[in-house]
Homo-oligomer: A and B are copies of this chain.
């Protein structure tokens, strides 16, 4: 029976395993460094105390408990040997007939890796709870401080990167200060929190239509968010950031700017693009080796002459495509090329405020927010998550209070810096 090894249980790897496991004549090993799949599009809501980590995560092996042909192993892949068709992992070595590499991307600080502890990014649940801790702790520290200048600094939040994640984080911090924390403090007014969204390019949300991006700027402004475009961050310290020539004192800095593909791509020995993504053939296999595929954020895959962006929708479609491709191949049918179906893009700004560009349609405000909420509930990994996310949102909608306002001891990766 052919053995398919899938590395990474994000949207690409998970969906490849789900579709492929319906075939009887195949054995699948799915490897991930975590025991759970994370629904990344809602990760910012964990960072913003709206949801708990468990609301957007599902144990990977629980999803495959009725699929005996799938084996799930928690571990780190160290080395891929294409000549011997083996994968070396922290728990030992496995040989494969087919390999799907879907290890995604992580944050990239453009050569300033020393910025990471000062400005964490948002790719994992650990980072999300660390960002939550820092944002909430900034308000606590401001309440305890007797120095008005320090209070102003602590209530200033800088978000680096004006893509959807940056916009979502900025809007959410604005709402926390204005609504969630109302009446909670005695020495500070949390509504005085100022959020600065720094984007090096000429405007935020560069992949969205102009009109929607302009609407986002107006909606963000009402929440105390200042959008600052056209200047790159040149320094980050524990006291703030430098943007171009200007110094912005700030208590909290969050990184939502660059990503770098997983380094495992480099082990395949095939050409990478400038960012480090593996350039794949039309069926997502790598040049010269039809038994090895790359999918998700790690793949450089052309669509209308442009590489597809590293978003959940692309990874999900690529994963399902590979599951179907291998099922066909196992019954002797030929391969087809991957075709991406563009379902549009969305971003939320806050309560009743979102943006959506679906085909030629444009939505903003309440209609976009309803579509956004419906689609995110629909795509969640399990019934349990759908029910609990829906209820948490209903709670937040009516009370404007957040269910997960916890400051928990710093994530180990950042602990040395914290406090």
Contacts and interface: CB of A to CB of B under 8 A. Distances in A.
Given A65-B182, A415-B412, A35 B144 contact: no
A292 interface: no
Interface in A120-173: 125-126, 129, 136-137, 140, 143-146
B66 A186 contact: no
A406 B57 contact: yes
A68 B186 contact: yes
Contacts of A137: 35, 74
Nearest to A133: B35
A8 interface: no
Interface in A177-199: 182-187
Q: Is the interface of A mostly helix, strand, loop or mixed?
A: mixed
A412 B406 CA distance: 17
B412 A409 contact: yes
Contacts of A186: 68, 71
A408 B126 contact: yes
Contact of A411 (B57, B71, B391, B412): B412
Interface string A11-43: 000000000000000000000001110000000
Contact of A73 (B36, B75, B144): B144
A86 to B, nearest CB: 16
Nearest to A61: B184
B140 A35 contact: yes
Contact of A61 (B57, B185, B387, B408): B185
Interface stretch (A47-55, A296-304, A307-315): A47-55
Contact of A74 (B53, B407, B410): B407
A146 B403 CA distance: 42
Interface string A59-80: 1011001101001111100000
A394 to B, nearest CB: 10
B36 A407 contact: yes
Contacts of A185: 61
A2 to B, nearest CB: 17
Interface residues of A, number: 57
Interface in A389-419: 391-392, 395, 399, 401, 403-413, 415
Contact of A407 (B34, B55, B184): B34
Given A62-B405, A384-B401, A384-B403, A92 B412 contact: no
A34 to B, nearest CB: 7
A54 B182 contact: no
A357 B71 CA distance: 46
A91 B35 contact: no
27 contacts: A34-B407, A35-B140, A35-B405, A36-B406, A52-B53, A53-B406, A54-B405, A57-B406, A59-B405, A59-B406, A61-B184, A62-B405, A73-B144, A74-B137, A74-B140, A74-B407, A75-B144, A125-B406, A126-B408, A384-B399, A384-B401, A387-B395, A388-B388, A409-B411, A409-B413, A410-B412, A411-B412
Given A384-B403, A387-B395, 15 more contacts: A35-B136, A35-B405, A36-B406, A52-B55, A53-B408, A54-B404, A74-B137, A74-B140, A74-B143, A75-B144, A91-B144, A91-B145, A125-B408, A384-B401, A387-B391
9 nearest CB pairs, A to B: A91-B144, A54-B404, A52-B52, A65-B183, A412-B412, A412-B415, A74-B140, A35-B407, A59-B405
